[in-house]
Amino acid sequence: QVQLVESGGGLVQAGGSLSVSCAASGRTFNSYAMGWFRQAPGKEREFVAAISRNGGSTYYPDSVKGRFTISRDNAKSMVYLQMNSLKPEDTAVYYCAARQAYSGNYYYLMEEYPYWGQGTQVTVSS
């Protein structure tokens, strides 16, 4: 089992950048594929980024492709989401998620992730 704690959220102006981080507990972090999701008020939680367990594969929806970058440091049990060219519609609570993986796959469906952090708020002002 893994526990996840997000940090780094905050308030930023449109066009700016922000990075959020996720710290994972446990000694087998490199066996987990990781993902970022977000949920805006009144909306369903949506996929933002995914990375395979060794970081070799990443995947993004069109809404953030080219602006967001997911990365991981297995030695530190950390996963990051760098967000550039932020828009007001990026405002949401951002969640880190994890699932054990036995291959180099990434996952982008919420139901594929059994472990979730508590979330961190990102607010983009216009």
Exposure on the CB side of residue 125, measured as CA atoms within 13 A: 4
DSSP letter, residue 102 = S
Residue 60 one-letter amino acid? Y
pLDDT band, very low/low/confident/very high, at 110 (cuts 50, 70, 90): very high
Q: Which positions ≥6 away from 76 have C-beta within 8 Å? A: none
Tens of pLDDT along 39-91? 999 999 999 999 999 999 999 999 999 999 999 999 999 999 999 999 999 99
- Are the C-beta atoms of 13 and 125 separated by less than 8 Å? yes
Q: 93 and 119 in contact (C-beta within 8 Å)?
A: yes
Tell whether the model's pLDDT for residue 27 goes beyond 80: no
* 86-97 confidence digits (pLDDT tens): 999 999 999 999
